[in-house]
Structure 1
Amino acid sequence: MTVLLVLILLAVIVGGVVLYLRARRNRTAALGDQSARPGGPVDPLADHQGVTDIRTVRAGDMIDYGDQLYFVRGSLRLKEGGYSWSEHFLDDARGSRLWVSVEEDPDLEVVLWRETADVTEPGGKTMEVGGVTYRREEDGTAAYVSEGTTTLAERGSVEYVDYEGPDGKALSFERFDGSKWEAGLGEAVALPALRVYPAGSDRT
């Protein structure tokens, strides 16, 4: 009789241990699946690896360049005669005013621009800013169409004067719809180091 009681007691203990281990394993599995549950945090860049064709950029996209992530707030599509190009206004989360211009003339030229207060209007054939000498390259008037957030009208015109400097540096002046001149200092973008993350799922 004593042996039977001992066997029964051992069976109860073993059964309890088995039930405990099963419950613990199920609880661990449930915790591990929390990140996949609907309504949890979602990685906005998880569905694609980005693209390298800067010509596809539009408002809502993100640009990764120079260890900095930029959010594209709006775009200008410009046209002068049979020639067209784009300017995209960026937000770097630090309050800086900057943009990237994209044109094919005929090679693809991409320049990152930052607003400067060191000069206020275009000058003669050469200008010196920050110890760098720039030579006047071209000027004209183009029509633009605005997309997204640009602080400009939906359509209008812009006067521009462009200067070229050494080592991919540039100086540009723009005057939108007869307002005051805006100046920007630019540097050529190293395309292999740039990546675009489209906002929509229709581009890869």
Structure 2
Amino acid sequence: MGELLIVLAIVALAAGVIVFLVARTRPKQPKQPSARQDPLRFASETATFGPRQLGPGAIVSYGGTDYVVRGSVTLREGPFVWWEHLLEGKADEPPVWFSVEEDEGRLELVWWHKRAGLPAEPGSSIDVDGVSFTVDENGRASYTTEGTTGLPAGGDMDYVDYRANGDTALLGYERWAPTMAWEVSYGTPVRAGELTVYPAPPAGS
């Protein structure tokens, strides 16, 4: 009986050695490369345009030019939130600002260009090229930034908004810190249908 057990143990050991050697000599299956992904796949997942689609890395196509969102500012005043995005397009043109605001379910989109040669301080009205702009809103908001904006990471800012010509022309004064000068921009309202937007990739993607 003892001899039989010894023989069985030897057979089992030999079988184990054979299995091990076969496994080592078997050619490895080449690893299948993962399928390539569409880098803009996230864009097709959003059916409608909305302010939260914009952020650093988004592309905005407007007027035949593709603009890259370099940075974004989120502003809050009480219950109200709006966004300003720094866009860079043609190499020979200065960056522009694009503001997005939701007002009672409607999107208010404005294209802003820096404007020189106007009063350094806001007043009750401002004349621009023979057009009189009157104050529409003014206040103080907190803000945070992401990406490249040229602004502090966060803080409080002052603003004065003007309108003229039945709201088709806008003027904005903004001061991002008490020690900074007022920045003046001329704004043109934009309809969502005039833009093609490739949303920013989700954070961390």
For the residues of structure 1 that align with 2:67 and 2:47, how far apart are their CA atoms?
Answer: 15
SS at match of 1:200: coil
For the residues of structure 1 that align with 2:190 and 2:120, how far apart are their CA atoms?
Answer: 25
1:50-99: CA deviation from partner (whole Å, max 9, x where unpaired): 86514120111010111121110000000011111100011123341311
Instruction: Determine the structure 1 residue equivalent to 2:128.
Output: 129
Tell whether the 8 Å contact from 2:111 to 2:189 is kept in structure 1 after alignment. Answer: yes
Instruction: Determine the structure 2 residue equivalent to 1:194.
Output: 195
Task: In structure 2, give the amino acid aligned to 1:187.
Answer: T
1:6-57: CA deviation from partner (whole Å, max 9, x where unpaired): xxxxxxxxxxxxxxxxxxxxxxxxxxxxxxxxxxxxx966885686514120
Q: Give me the TM-score of the superposition, normalised by structure 2.
A: 0.70
Task: In structure 2, give the amino acid aligned to 1:146.
Answer: T
Tell whether the 8 Å contact from 1:116 to 1:185 is kept in structure 2 after alignment. Answer: yes
Tell whether the 8 Å contact from 2:122 to 2:173 is kept in structure 1 after alignment. Answer: no
For the residues of structure 1 that align with 2:186 and 2:129, how far apart are their CA atoms?
Answer: 10
SS at match of 1:177: coil
For the residues of structure 1 that align with 2:48 and 2:130, how far apart are their CA atoms?
Answer: 33
Instruction: Determine the structure 2 residue equivalent to 1:66.
Output: 63
For the residues of structure 1 that align with 2:50 and 2:169, how far apart are their CA atoms?
Answer: 19
Instruction: Determine the structure 2 residue equivalent to 1:118.
Output: 117
Instruction: Determine the structure 1 residue equivalent to 2:145.
Output: 146
Instruction: Determine the structure 2 residue equivalent to 1:101.
Output: 99
| Pairwise CA distance, 1:111 | 0.3
How many residues are aligned here? 161
Tell whether the 8 Å contact from 2:58 to 2:69 is kept in structure 1 after alignment. Answer: yes
Tell whether the 8 Å contact from 1:74 to 1:149 is kept in structure 2 after alignment. Answer: yes
For structure 1, which runs of at least 5 residues remain unmatched after alignment? 1-42
Give the percent of matched residue pairs that are identical in Structure 1 and Structure 2: 38
Q: Give me the TM-score of the superposition, normalised by structure 1.
A: 0.71
Q: CA RMSD in A?
A: 2.4
SS at match of 2:193: helix
Instruction: Determine the structure 1 residue equivalent to 2:29.
Output: none
For the residues of structure 2 that align with 1:176 and 1:111, how far apart are their CA atoms?
Answer: 19
For the residues of structure 2 that align with 1:130 and 1:46, how far apart are their CA atoms?
Answer: 45
| Pairwise CA distance, 1:201 | 6.9
For structure 2, which runs of at least 5 residues remain unmatched after alignment? 1-37
1:102-156: CA deviation from partner (whole Å, max 9, x where unpaired): 1122221110000011214344322111232211111111000001001112111
For the residues of structure 1 that align with 2:177 and 2:75, how far apart are their CA atoms?
Answer: 13
For the residues of structure 2 that align with 1:85 and 1:47, how far apart are their CA atoms?
Answer: 23
